[in-house]
Structure 1
């Protein structure tokens, strides 16, 4: 039976909640089995340009398996606060702060331990959160985003683009401040989101290229997206219009502060929790070869792969969910275990 994704406007399967975490208000989706009883708690962390609703195909399956699910909008997105930089530090949009806020949200919902999953930037967050909070995070899964260990030496985005990952050049464009000059109202946000989610112009024009960035001049001619449309697209436009896209792009402006905070993790490069990594075969940015070294840092690693682009969660949800379900069941998680206080 096809998955019925969460409806962003009105869906009895989820609640929209808020919590004050380390001084800032977060919006999050909250779902439990209809019985109200659950075995463990799963946190789902989205990336860019996405929202907690990016997990709309995974939440129903996880709840059906007996999990409680918590999916926050990350700092700068949707219903969550978007502190301005300056006067605030750019480190607010870094991996350490995101990890701190996840741990605070776990405490808020009364979860002593959580299973933590991420996609895109959220995938990067969950790796670091597992290192900062090993006592809170029992299991980790990442869709598309491979693990990268903390480095002693600082590598700027420019260094990476000139070297091993030229497809990261779009990050320079996103961090530059140029994109938000053109994407600044409801209509331009709508066209931007459609383009980022694979829509094209009448002659096949793309709105995004990993080695160049966003083609803002093409946004007016971009058509419909197969994976972000209808009332879901309407919801995304409404949520992105709350803060604009500038705050979401701060995640691309803090590479140095991430590196500085990573220095405390140099002796914690090994991820000791059980891990699932789901690769998207046709991801043009997070390419399959980028995950080759993961096995040396993650002793308990399970790999899966789906024939999808970067938007695997919504492009091939059945495939992602099958791999995720099998891994969770293989770990003895979900309905196979007695009810606990997690």
Structure 2
């Protein structure tokens, strides 16, 4: 069985999706959905493992990223369009259903897909970002804030303050990341640490600071974290994010109200019946799910929920791939045994 990773593109009249694929074409699809500001290569440690087990492991470049279609309006990055991209991808594989795995902004995609199109899901797994039945938006996140860490007077939007910076100062947000893309990549993709637990996350200060790195400032230049990225990985991220810029990736944050309206259309399906897995990142101090109420709506709306915890930061699939793969494999074997490939 080949564990080589292939490059593919599917094109429809509305969108083109580039994706990486591994494993037998007849295998049950496991579709890995990346977040901000990542690429299909964010799943480089998962594709050969799940392809090698006999699944059809797929990782697309999402809308606005890499070699997939890029658009020049904020509203083109609403969840409704992104979910449709994923349904088209699934259709192109000739499969009725997939196991969907999402991280960061990829998690709302797979949760939305499970809510909007349950008949296309064998199961759904999310890393770091739990299910928000009302849609992914500051309006649904801020009410769940831990006010012992983020007193409302000082931090009205808590750790989600950075999302409001996009709304209020979008061009400045894009410009700060684009000013030195390599420095941005090296600063972002770093391993987690227990330092910072119980303290306000840096994202709580974005507006007060006048930007991610201060008014008009680029990312500070720090050494690459070799525990997360090789030089080759860094170069691939830099190339993809330089080619397209940050307008598309950042526009995902500009559709909170549209995402809430989309979720509201499917409110009757807000309770998810299919097996679901949530993997907590113990050292993700923005998506802090272990000691807060952030995961409560998910627990109330998933009929068959498994939870696991990995001692990592936000970029867990890249920082702790063996632990993430093990959590996914255990869940698949326990909750979806009939899909396990017979080799």
TM-score (norm 1): 0.83
* CA-atom RMSD in angstroms: 2.7
Q: Which residue of 2 aligns with 1:211?
A: 204
Whole-Å Cα distance in 2 between the matches of residues 332 and 154 of structure 1? Answer: 33
In the TM superposition, residue 91 of structure 1 has moved relative to its aligned partner by 3.2
Q: How does 1:252-331 map to 2 (within 5 A)?
A: 252-288=253-289, 289=292, 290-331=294-335
Moved more, 212-221 or 16-25: 212-221
* TM-aligned CA distance change 1:66 to 1:179, over 3 Å: same
Q: Distance in 1 between matches of 2:84 and 2:252?
A: 16
1:221 Cα offset (Å): 3.1
CA-CA distance at 1:321 after TM superposition: 0.9
Partner residue in 1 for 2:59: 71
Q: How many pairs align?
A: 312
Counterpart Cα distance in 2 of 1:160 and 1:242? 37
Is 2:165 the partner of 1:169?
no
Offset, 1:265: 1.3
Q: Is the 8 A contact 2:280 2:308 kept in 1?
A: yes
Mapped contact 2:3–2:52 kept (Cα < 8 A): no
Counterpart CA distance in 2 for 1:107 and 1:246 is 28
Q: Tell me the equivalent position of 2:222.
A: 222
Corresponding residue for residue 244 of structure 1 = 245
Aligned residue runs from structure 1 range 44-59, under 5 A: 44-59=32-47
Measured after TM superposition, the shift of residue 150 of structure 1 is 1.7
Quote how far apart the aligned CAs of 1:164 are. 8.2
Measure the CA separation in 1 of the matches of 2:309 and 2:140: 29
Unaligned runs of 5+ in 2: 146-151, 192-200, 207-211
- What secondary structure, in the 3-state scheme, does the structure 2 residue paired with 1:98 have? helix
Residues 261 and 23 (structure 1), Cα distance of their counterparts in 2 relative to 1, 3 Å cut: same
Q: Establish whether residue 15 from structure 1 lines up as the match of residue 16 from structure 2.
A: no
246-255 or 160-169, which moves further after superposition?
Answer: 160-169
Unaligned runs of 5+ residues in structure 1 are 1-10, 200-207
C-alpha distance in structure 2 between counterparts of 1:143 and 1:158, whole Å: 20
Query: CA–CA distance in 1 between the matches of 2:309 and 2:296?
Result: 13
Q: Shift of residue 159 of structure 1? A: 7.6
Q: 1:190 to 1:260 in 2, by over 3 A?
A: same
Q: Deviations over 1:264-286 (max 9, x none)?
A: 11211101111011111111111
> In structure 2, what is the equivalent of residue 180 of structure 1?
174
Pick aligned residue for 2:97 from 113, 124, 129: 113
Q: Give the deviation of 1:108 after TM superposition.
A: 0.9
Distance 1:221 1:71, change over 3 A: closer
**Alignment partners' CA distance in 2, 1:75 and 1:337:** 30
Contact 1:210 1:284 in 2 (8 A): no
Deviation at 1:336, TM superposition (A): 3.8
Residue 224 of structure 2: SS of its match in structure 1?
coil
Question: Where does structure 1 differ by over 6 angstroms across 4 or more consecutive aligned residues?
Answer: 156-161
Q: Relative to structure 1, is the Cα distance of residues 22 and 307 closer, same or farther in structure 2, using a 3 angstrom cutoff?
A: farther
